[in-house]
Chain A
Amino acid sequence: MVLACSLAFVFSCNRHYSVKSNEYKQYGVNQELVADSSLIKYYTPFKAKMEAEMNRVVGIASDEMPKSNDPETALGNFYADAILIETQKVNPLVEFSFPTTKGGIRNSIQKGNITVSHVFELMPFDNEGVILKLSGQSVQKIIDFLASSNGQPVSGIRMKIANQKAYDVTIAGKPFDINKEYIMVTSDYLANNGDDQSSLANPMERKNVGKLIRTMLMDYINEQTKNGKKITPKIDGRIIVANE
């Protein structure tokens, strides 16, 4: 060892370092740590401003819209209608929406003021709207999924379900035709096979709406408010499960 080092010294005209050893430690950043108050002081004004924004009222719900597993829900209808209407402003050829599964709707909307924070709670994820052109066969798969999963939030599509099979299906007011192509809007999450939506996996065309789903919901509510309208829960029989 000593000899090696002496040699090293002799030839060390060129400074050179090599790793002798190393070790690792991971700190959990949790309640046991003291916080640096200067940083808290620094971000407090930002927090105040953010909270003011989050508490900003964007609309009014004329009644409660609870999250539920019913085949058709007022909350799901509001959500899917809003996304369809906002998407049609970008592309009027879009015929129906399936923007989320029931599980993707994260919170109920209470009667009264709807704040920015409420919209975030309804849709906390940063998923984008995606417009897909689908074959009739792919749309049939969506229809099958809607029927087998006891209904999902949709707009522009109507159906009856018996024994987990759909019948009397219409899209944009016309009977569903498996030989036709359809243009629909969903979220990038579902389009990317989230929640195992294989029906959306092979679109003939795919385009982004260019907006987050949450932004579209916000835009829809804002517009309703601007026009002096409240958000009104609506069940219109778009998905009816026949008594067996």
Chain B
Amino acid sequence: MEELLSQMNSRRDFLKKTGAAAGLFALAGSPLAAFAGQETVQLTILHTNDVHSRIEPFPMDGSRNQGLGGVARRAALIKNIRAEQKNVLLLDAGDIFQGTPYFNMFGGELEFKLMSDMGYDAATMGNHDFDNGIAGFVKQLPHAKFPFLVSNYDFSNTDLKGRTQPYKIFKKQGIRIGVFGLGLELKGMVDKKNYEDTVYQDPIVKGNEMASFLKNDKHCDMVICLSHLGYKYKDNKVSDQVLAKSTRNIDLIIGGHTHTFLKAPETVMNQDGKPTTINQVGFAGINLGRLDYFFDRQSGKKKMLASVCPIGEGLYA
């Protein structure tokens, strides 16, 4: 509980690129910056994971999470952020289904409708999203006005064929953001009758393929993986940590499955020695994660020095 409360409004810069702040501010403020075509674009990524049909806040029954969560509050919060920010991406890392009688009663209809209402841009599939079988998921899909991004499940021999997408590219003020999804091994986790002939493919191989495709072929400025692999395991089972270390070109992994309450995103060096950021915000919609990226327009490989800009300080206003 204390931990949860302390997470509120905690602001942290998670990419430690220090020492250049002064120079950058000077540049941004100078008329020469404008001459040089300098342009900063802010992208706001909001995310949830493992909401597990938690429509209403947890009941006030003395339990650990009493009074927390609830879609109506989340919706209001998102609305406020959208009013302030031009470029918002709202994403979910799976396990939308299962956990309250709303799911048992309505099979996920309400979850999808409310997420559509909040303007979710994309989600990936968690193991519990198979709980009513492929047919149960397909039945609810018309209620979802956002795509499901799944790159490492081959649904060719199921009714989900063509109903999900491997990736989607979002364009925000000229920035290209490639988003793809990775799911965990279904065998042993989900009943075979529920995933039928879905073929699970190695998330590291697929992740590398997708990320390289998005960054190099599709020229995305940023690549995001929606992952339901889980944050970390004791053994060497594939997790977000393993994925980050073993791949290239993924900038951000928005994770789920392990219901991990990270206080701040974690940065792991990838195969190229570049930072891959991992985040996960618990479960049940108790928290909403927000990552703000500030992009500079530039050419070729020339890198701008970086600094941290607090939200709301109008660098480019």
Main secondary structure of the interface of B (DSSP, over half): mixed
A-B pairs with beta carbons under 8 A, tally = 227
A63 at the interface (CB under 8 A from B): no
Q: Which positions 52-90 of chain B face chain A at CB distance < 8 Å? A: 55-57, 67-77, 79
Contact check, B265 vs A20: say whether CB atoms are below 8 A apart.
no
Question: Known: A8-B302, A17-B41. Is A23-B72 also a contact (CB below 8 A)?
Answer: no
Contact check, A1 vs B298: say whether CB atoms are below 8 A apart.
no
Q: Please report the C-alpha to C-alpha distance between residue A47 and residue B110 in the assembled complex, in whole angstroms.
A: 10
Question: Known: A26-B7, A35-B70. Is A4-B295 also a contact (CB below 8 A)?
Answer: no
A242 at the interface (CB under 8 A from B): no
> Which range contains the number of B residues in contact with the other chain?
35 or more
Main secondary structure of the interface of A (DSSP, over half): mixed
B11 at the interface (CB under 8 A from A): yes
Contact check, B291 vs A29: say whether CB atoms are below 8 A apart.
no
Closest to B60 in A: A31
Q: Which of A9, A26, A54, A128 contacts B290 (CB 8 A)?
A: A26
Q: Which residue, of A1, A28, A34, has the highest number of chain B Cβ atoms within 10 A?
A: A28
Chain A contacts for B295, CB-based, 8 A: 17-20
Q: Can you spell out 29 A-B residue pairs with CB atoms less than 8 angstroms apart? A: A2-B30, A2-B36, A4-B302, A8-B302, A12-B37, A16-B298, A17-B174, A18-B303, A18-B304, A19-B221, A19-B306, A20-B24, A20-B305, A21-B293, A21-B307, A23-B291, A23-B292, A26-B9, A26-B10, A26-B288, A26-B290, A28-B4, A28-B8, A29-B287, A30-B8, A35-B73, A38-B75, A50-B106, A128-B191
B interface with A by C-beta (< 8 Å): 4-5, 7-15, 17, 23-24, 26-27, 30, 32-33, 35-38, 40-41, 55-57, 67-77, 79, 98, 101-102, 105-106, 110, 113-114, 117, 131, 174-176, 191, 193, 219, 221-222, 251, 263-265, 277, 279, 281, 285-300, 302-311
